[in-house]
A and B are shown apart, each in its own frame.
Chain A
Amino acid sequence: MDVEKLFVFLTIGVSVSAIYAVSATGLVVTYITSGVFNFAHGAIGMFLAFVYWELSVNQGWPVPLALAVTLLVIAPAIGVALDVLVMRRLVQGASLATKLVVTLALLVVFQGAVLGIWGVELRTLPAFLEGRQYSLAGLQITYHQTITVLAALVVAFGLRFLFKRTRLGVAMRAVVDNPELCAVKGLSPNVVTAASWAMGSSLAGLAAILIAPGLNLEVNTLSLLVVSAYAAAVVGRLQSLPATFVGALILGVSGELVGAYVPAGNEWLANLRPALPFVLLFVALLVRSETRLPEKLKTHAEPAPPPLRTGIVLGGLAVGVALTVSGGLSPFQLLIGSKGLIFACIVLSLVLLTGLSGQVSLMQMSFVGIGAVLVGKLPEAFPYPVALAVAGLVTGLVGVLVALPAVRLRGIYIALSTLAFAILMDKIVFGNRDVLGGGTTLAVERPNVFGLDFSSERALFVVLAVVAVVFANLFLIVRRSRFGRLLTAVRDAPNACQTLGMDVTRAKLKVFFLSATMAGVAGAFFGGLQSRVGQLDFLYFRSLTVLLVATIFGITSVSGAFLGAAFFVVLPELTRNADSAGGQALQPLIIGLLAILTARRPEGLAGRLRAALRPALRRVIGFRPVASRPELPIELSTTPEIDIREVGTVGAAR
Chain B
Amino acid sequence: MALLDETLIETPLLELRGVRAGYGGVEALHGIDLTVPGGSMVALLGPNGAGKTTTLRVVSGLVTPTAGSVQLEGNEVAGASTVALARAGVCLIPEGRGIFPNLTVRENLLMDTYAAGRSVSQVEEVAYARFPRLGERRGQVAGTMSGGEQQMLALSRALSSDPALLLLDELSMGLAPLIVEELFAVVHDLTTTGVTILVVEQFASVVLDVADHVVVMAQGTVRLEGRPDDVRDALSAAYLGGEG
Contacts and interface: CB of A to CB of B under 8 A. Distances in A.
Interface in B44-65: 48-49, 51, 53-54, 60-62
Contacts of B60: 184
B199 to A, nearest CB: 16
Contacts of B8: none
B86 A183 contact: yes
B53 A646 contact: yes
B100 A184 contact: no
Interface string A423-450: 0000000000000000000000000000
A176 B100 CA distance: 9
B177 interface: no
A404 B48 CA distance: 44
Given A174-B100, A187-B83, A645 B94 contact: no
A183 B53 contact: no
Contact of B102 (A177, A182, A636, A648): A177
B98 A186 contact: no
A651 B26 CA distance: 8
Nearest to B86: A186
B85 to A, nearest CB: 8
Contact of B100 (A178, A186, A651): A178
Given A184-B86, A185-B86, A185-B111, A173 B49 contact: no
Contacts of A167: 110, 113, 120
Contacts of B49: 645-646, 648-649
Nearest to B57: A641
Interface residues on B, range: 35 or more
B82 A183 contact: yes
B103 A642 contact: no
Interface string A153-174: 0000000000000010011011
Interface in B75-107: 81-83, 86-87, 92, 94-95, 98-103, 107
B160 to A, nearest CB: 11
Q: For chain A, what secondary structure do more than half of its interface residues adopt (helix, strand, loop), or is it mixed?
A: helix
Nearest to A166: B110
A182 B111 contact: yes
A186 B110 contact: no
B100 A633 contact: no
Interface in A185-206: 185-188
Given A167-B113, A646-B51, A183 B62 contact: yes
Given A174-B100, A637-B24, A646-B51, 11 more contacts: A177-B102, A178-B100, A180-B82, A181-B94, A182-B111, A186-B83, A187-B83, A636-B24, A636-B26, A641-B62, A645-B49
List the 3 closest pairs (A to B, CB-CB), nearest first: A186-B115, A186-B86, A636-B24
Interface of B: 23-28, 48-49, 51, 53-54, 60-62, 81-83, 86-87, 92, 94-95, 98-103, 107, 110-115, 120, 157, 219
16 contacts: A174-B100, A177-B103, A181-B98, A183-B81, A184-B86, A187-B83, A188-B81, A633-B24, A639-B24, A643-B54, A643-B95, A645-B48, A646-B51, A646-B53, A649-B219, A650-B27
